[in-house]
Structure 1
């Protein structure tokens, strides 16, 4: 069994090492200097690495599973244990690998250790003898299994924007850029630093390079605790070895590293210091990686062949005995698993608990010395700084998406086609002119709505990842996302109105044109807000687009053009439609009650008496502006509050 590790204790000034730790001073010196934020030796320019000893004791996690009954379609709730009494300890400079078949609870345990497990669990997890806190969170790097990165940013841009948000404001922009360059060099990303990350629609960097970028994002903060979920998943053996070699080098600097891994090669396996082997949520081995085969031989599961230790461990976790000629039956597998769990309780569990008890005093000494008292503030940068960085990043990431050729062609072609259909409509054809104004309100009420619906569902994983790391406030992200979209989202409707307004022969007055343009842009902002609210509330693209389709259909019918005399019991629908208010404002800008048009040859009629105009009315336009203002603010407020409901774990 592994020896106890002593939690290193920094001096009161936070920079030195306790004199009583002379036996590990060399390793700890490495820990402090292994990955400095700045090469400059001036005080404050170096991020000190505080080594963390992580202990987890008797971790139990249960979830409720809904099951359909056999009769009358009844549903019952059943409790399932995902983690069943897992105990262990990881010291600075060590790599703990969690092995086990799919569904054995590896990722769940890793999430619990990183403070990211939703729901409640029993047991005790301590970091240098203290519970999880904001200071520990800022010292923890968490690399998810999937590489969640913006596809249109380059490797350098990805790491640079992360550095701007996660490194303290005491560092200048140039100093953060220098640190990014060092991380890129350390992770071997120099060759591809100016390449785009890439995504499903276009090729970017390789899978191994994406994984190193994800690790680099966490290494920027010089984490004391680094957690990685399946860092070699989907990679070839050579690339996987490079990733694990990088992780090993990072651990040797004094970091505490924990990783889940599905089926490592023998070369990778021997890089691990400790191993936890899980079978259906229960531990069946904890100890040095090099001693695993010896342990299983001692409990009656030896093999005569030379095998990859990881393969043997995974077979045992699945209930398959070594050297078996045929695959064990389900009953035999169950018997093997029960025997292994029993052997663990008898041979490992008791000794392990005793070791943890013996090491408690060291963690308490560290806590008393204030070793975990890092900066108390929740955010390392100001709200305005976060907003400005997120705004820059958003504009740079979406410059390809917002102004892609397809969107421009779509809007411009519709504008020209509409202009040709309404080509220089005579004043006497008031019905056609009114229809053109309604087309304005409909097209620019629905087009931005459908675009905005995708915004937050598509960014959900990125939002959860970054906010779980404490990168920024939700309010700064939300404001940057809204304001960053304005120039891009308002440019196309402006071009649209410029084209179709003059081709359609509407009132050729500059003031009227500008007011009409402003009404359309106002409508765009309101529609966009509703789309954001739908997307944020449902966080599911299919459900959000379905709701948007129903809403647009209702707004279209109740917009005041197709049905002019809505029955009283359902007339309230039109007052919910922003298309109704936009259409009414466009009519009010274009006409007044005292305007006349030639209703038949030689006969002039008041515009206010025209049925389509009369049903809408041309008065009280400021009330309509105010109602749309309430919608503009209200929809976005709903979207913001809905984002607060998104679980970060």
Structure 2
């Protein structure tokens, strides 16, 4: 915008906000929509991904260091994001295993998880599958308690909660607030954003930070019994009506501080607050607590993460194994679909592998036509085998990775693990299923199509099919990693599938590809799959072909007409391995450096 001569402007979301949050105190962040409640909490917790932040945040008198702060804090998001295929207990085990110090033994971690489950009243649901919101598994209120528990098992000193009662009925909200209160009573600092709370929920809080639109503070301090301190503060202001008997103090507070009320009394509530004794008391606390206690040292950890990278990888891999094992709609369907497709392909191309041999028939004309037709059928079978299921692999992996990515964003922000550990686990967990898929598909198609039954050719066929399924799967991972949504990943992938199909060297043989497109042939992974399979199966066939435009062996025909070198099998395998590494490497890069979640 500025490059085009349009002046750049910034929208200020928070203005001169100050306050103190202390241990064992439950503080409410309240304000009308657009007041900056969630923005303030994202800034304090270090979750803000955009914008400009000015000011100081101190922990026990020392400047906040985000890497350290992430280790001692928890963040309960408004949207309860969890892996749907794991149980309540497994969710807590995963969080505690990665976030508690490695010096703590396994038995101690298990005991702590048990304690947290009792604290948030989830012990009776330990074996319940989390499921997807609104469709299966835990209820909304149970999911909220699980979200709180996932943070508690990290044993944080400070917990931020973004509207923990949002979307809950009165009973469910009361259960969640009882959980929050239990958490505060353990001596932790807890800060919650809250939107239009009921009287029971509001009076569960100890202190309040009230914001007005524009991100300015209009009250900060204690609430008092039945919010009496808050009520007394506002009723001291001229023009403010008294609260009716039995009226919700939170509702009354929001009504008397809205912009219309400000215009009516002709005063700015933020200015009133900055001239109040309550403000001076808060500023005094800030001044006092901004100085580190004598003899203290800033909190430091020897490493960014609680666990070393190998432990992170193994724990992530264990969780991903659970997710995949309990995803029959993905893996079982994939294997069943592979079997059905293999049988279908084998029946369509039944015994065509033999047709690469010349049939001794009566007329030369019939021999010529059958030989050429048979050769094309063999190549068609090979081409279909590598493309058909490969595209299915890339497409079917995208939904499950897209769901897990939202979980990854939460876990990454919480400092559970390095992104590369997650990426490595995500890639490795696919390989056993791809091996099973390759064996199913390879054995069925190889023997139904009746390719030459030698151990070396069968082994090469399996290796090339395994690499093909792998790079297609990793391509699906990469497409999700590079795009902001599953839908966009599918659209982008489809465009590439079309090019791969057209310029792989089968529909348009290499010698007939236009010169300005030949470069794409060399970087097309399907072309290298085709080279590898055809050269390994037909590269040594000396059967003669006699045509008006060609006379020579099958080996020479493949080389001349399709431009496939009979000796390219080894290089093709190496290139396919390179594509697997490339696609996975780009996926790992996207996981580490790209974040499509904007806050």
Q: Which of the residues 549, 553, 576 maps onto 2:523?
A: 576
For 2:242 and 2:259, how far apart are their aligned partners in 1? 15
Q: Which residue of 2 aligns with 1:316?
A: 256
Query: 1:624, CA displacement in angstroms?
Result: 2.2
After the TM superposition, which residues 89-488 of structure 1 pair with which residues of structure 2 at under 5 Å, given as runs?
89-118=20-49, 119-133=51-65, 134-200=67-133, 202-280=135-213, 281-289=215-223, 290=227, 291-299=229-237, 300-303=239-242, 305-306=244-245, 307-319=247-259, 321=261, 339-347=268-276, 350-352=279-281, 354-356=283-285, 358-360=287-289, 363-366=290-293, 368-370=294-296, 372-401=298-327, 404-425=331-352, 426-427=354-355, 428=371, 429-454=374-399, 456-488=401-433
For 1:456 and 1:205, how far apart are their aligned partners in 2? 21
Query: 1:593, CA displacement in angstroms?
Result: 4.5
For 1:492 and 1:318, how far apart are their aligned partners in 2? 63
Secondary structure of the structure 2 residue equivalent to 1:122: coil
- Are the equivalent residues in 2 in contact too, given 1:135–1:376 (CA < 8 A)? no
For 2:136 and 2:56, how far apart are their aligned partners in 1? 45
Query: 1:189, CA displacement in angstroms?
Result: 0.7
- Are the equivalent residues in 2 in contact too, given 1:101–1:317 (CA < 8 A)? no
For 2:578 and 2:344, how far apart are their aligned partners in 1? 34
- Are the equivalent residues in 1 in contact too, given 2:19–2:283 (CA < 8 A)? no
Secondary structure of the structure 1 residue equivalent to 2:16: strand
- Are the equivalent residues in 1 in contact too, given 2:243–2:249 (CA < 8 A)? no
Tell me: CA distance 1:76–1:450, structure 2 relative to 1, closer, same or farther (3 Å). farther
Query: 1:621, CA displacement in angstroms?
Result: 2.8
Query: 1:192, CA displacement in angstroms?
Result: 1.0
- Are the equivalent residues in 1 in contact too, given 2:29–2:192 (CA < 8 A)? yes
- Are the equivalent residues in 2 in contact too, given 1:319–1:336 (CA < 8 A)? no
1:119-153 CA distance string (max 9 Å, x none): 43112211111111233321111111111111111
Secondary structure of the structure 2 residue equivalent to 1:89: coil
Query: 1:456, CA displacement in angstroms?
Result: 4.7
Secondary structure of the structure 2 residue equivalent to 1:226: strand
Q: Which residue of 2 aligns with 1:631?
A: 579
Query: 1:117, CA displacement in angstroms?
Result: 2.0
- Are the equivalent residues in 1 in contact too, given 2:119–2:182 (CA < 8 A)? no
Query: 1:506, CA displacement in angstroms?
Result: 2.1
Secondary structure of the structure 1 residue equivalent to 2:566: coil
Query: 1:415, CA displacement in angstroms?
Result: 1.8
1:78-119 CA distance string (max 9 Å, x none): 321111111111211111101112222111111111122234
For 1:645 and 1:592, how far apart are their aligned partners in 2? 44
Unaligned residue ranges in structure 1 (runs of 5+): 1-65, 68-72, 322-332
Tell me: CA distance 1:562–1:76, structure 2 relative to 1, closer, same or farther (3 Å). farther
Give TM-score scaled by structure 2 length.
Answer: 0.88
Secondary structure of the structure 2 residue equivalent to 1:434: helix
Tell me: CA distance 1:590–1:336, structure 2 relative to 1, closer, same or farther (3 Å). farther
Tell me: CA distance 1:349–1:573, structure 2 relative to 1, closer, same or farther (3 Å). farther
Q: Which residue of 2 aligns with 1:16?
A: none
Q: Flag the structure with higher strand content.
A: 1
Q: Which residue of 2 aligns with 1:617?
A: 565
For 1:607 and 1:513, how far apart are their aligned partners in 2? 19
Query: 1:184, CA displacement in angstroms?
Result: 0.9
- Cα RMSD of the aligned pairs, angstroms, is 2.6
Tell me: CA distance 1:646–1:334, structure 2 relative to 1, closer, same or farther (3 Å). farther
Tell me: CA distance 1:225–1:304, structure 2 relative to 1, closer, same or farther (3 Å). closer
1:475-534 CA distance string (max 9 Å, x none): 211111111111123322331222222222222333322210110101122222332222
